[in-house]
Amino acid sequence: MRLKLALGLLIALLGTAAGGEEITSGSAFLSPDLRRQQDDPTRNPGWFWVEQGQGLFGRKPGASQACSQCHAEPEKSLRGAATHYPQVDAGTGQLLNLEGRIEQCRVERQKQPAFGYESGELLALTSYVASLSRGLPMDVETRGPAQPFYNAGRAFFERRQGQLNLSCKQCHDGLVGQKLRGDTISHGAGTGYPAYRLEWNGVGSLHRRLRACSLGVRATQFDYGAPEYLALELYLAARARGLPIETPAMRR
């Protein structure tokens, strides 16, 4: 009995060690064809959303200022910004991802109605701002005020959920590289999002992808921007620390 317990503990420890293995980008799990398509701007449709976002960034919404009036030379001033999201908003103490920060700017500074999560405009602006950090390593803060959110995200990742009673960790740590029907299981790094997914025939957010994960294990699908997914996004971003941002990536 005691031996069994010790053995169990050892396996658990080994499991933790395996969890510390190097995380790779979702692009590493694409077919060579799709990867080539992703890396070729003449082939990757995600760039249309980036282009749309760039247009919105420079345009005045109504009587208010354009994004570019505060964020002049965004190629320089916002380069690297996306690597630090999600982050805790100093004013409210809430965890904000890039989508949340853009909406906050729009409502509080531009005094415009929110675009709404997963709207074409918000996807376009998020894609554009994230694309300004292409190639830069993910670098989110997980300590201080972010610590409780990080802990909640990690707990979510490790908790068994849904009718299939699966945790994220069981597949995305334990079975990476193996097949789930036609899919190859990745580490679940969200560094390519918003991404153009063939399944969607368009660009979608990481939360849209997470909702599909929840459905996959027959678990509760949370709302876009829900605290559960925000915390998970922070944990995934922390796991992906050091991986370059690839927005707009292509996924199957």
Partner 1 sequence: MAFNARISMPAEARAGEIIEIRVLTRHPMDRGGQSDGKGGTVPRKILNRLTATYSGEPIFRLDMYTGVSANPFVSFTTRALETGDIIFEWREDGGAVFTRTARLTVT
Partner 2 sequence: MSLPISPPSRHSESAPSRRDIVVGAAAGIGLAALPNAVMAATQPALSELIARLTDGAVPERGRITLEIPALVENGNSVDTRIVVESPMTEADHVRWIHLIAEKNPFPDMARFHLGPRSGRAEVATTLRLATSQKVTVVAALSTGGYLTSDADVVVTLSACIDGG
Residue from 70, 164, 183, 242 touching partner 2 (CB under 8 A): that is 183
Is position 202 an interface residue for partner 1 (rule: CB under 8 A)? Answer: yes
Is position 172 an interface residue for partner 2 (rule: CB under 8 A)? Answer: no
Report d(CA 32, CA 114) in Å as an integer. Answer: 39
Is position 43 an interface residue for partner 1 (rule: CB under 8 A)? Answer: yes
Is position 244 an interface residue for partner 1 (rule: CB under 8 A)? Answer: no
Is position 92 an interface residue for partner 1 (rule: CB under 8 A)? Answer: no
Is position 161 an interface residue for partner 2 (rule: CB under 8 A)? Answer: no
Is position 215 an interface residue for partner 2 (rule: CB under 8 A)? Answer: yes
Distance of CA 85 to the CA centre of its chain: 9
Calculated CA dihedral for residues 184, 192, 237, 24, nearest 10 degrees? 40
DSSP 74-143: HHHHTTTGGGG-SEE-TTT--EE-HHHHHHHIIIIIS------TT-HHHHHHHHHHHHTTBTSBP----S
Min dist. Cβ of residue 59 to partner 1 (A)? 13
Q: What backbone phi and psi angles, to 5 degrees, belong to 183?
A: -95, 150
| Binding piece for partner 2, criterion CB under 8 A, among 130-138, 161-169, 213-221, 233-241 | 213-221
* Dihedral sign of CA atoms 172, 198, 82, 100 in order: negative
Residues 99-158 binding partner 1 (CB under 8 A) are: 120, 124
Half-sphere exposure for 70 (CA within 13 Å, toward CB): 12
| Binding piece for partner 1, criterion CB under 8 A, among 37-45, 141-149, 161-169, 215-223 | 37-45
Size of the site for partner 2 (CB under 8 A): 29
Is position 31 an interface residue for partner 2 (rule: CB under 8 A)? Answer: yes
Residues 97-156 binding partner 2 (CB under 8 A) are: 118
- 52, interface contact from partner 2, partner 1, none, CB < 5-8 Å by kind: partner 1
Contact of 84 with 139, CB cutoff 8 Å: yes
Report d(CA 129, CA 74) in Å as an integer. Answer: 8
Sort strands 87-88 and 95-96 into parallel, antiparallel or unpaired: antiparallel
Other Cβ atoms less than 10 A from the Cβ of 85: the count is 24
Is position 247 an interface residue for partner 1 (rule: CB under 8 A)? Answer: no
Shorter beta-carbon distance to partner 1: residue 13 or 198: 198
Is position 42 an interface residue for partner 1 (rule: CB under 8 A)? Answer: yes
Is position 201 an interface residue for partner 1 (rule: CB under 8 A)? Answer: yes
Is position 252 an interface residue for partner 2 (rule: CB under 8 A)? Answer: yes
* Binding stretches for partner 2 (CB under 8 A): 31, 33-34, 37, 118, 180-183, 197-202, 204, 208, 211-213, 215-216, 220-224, 226, 252
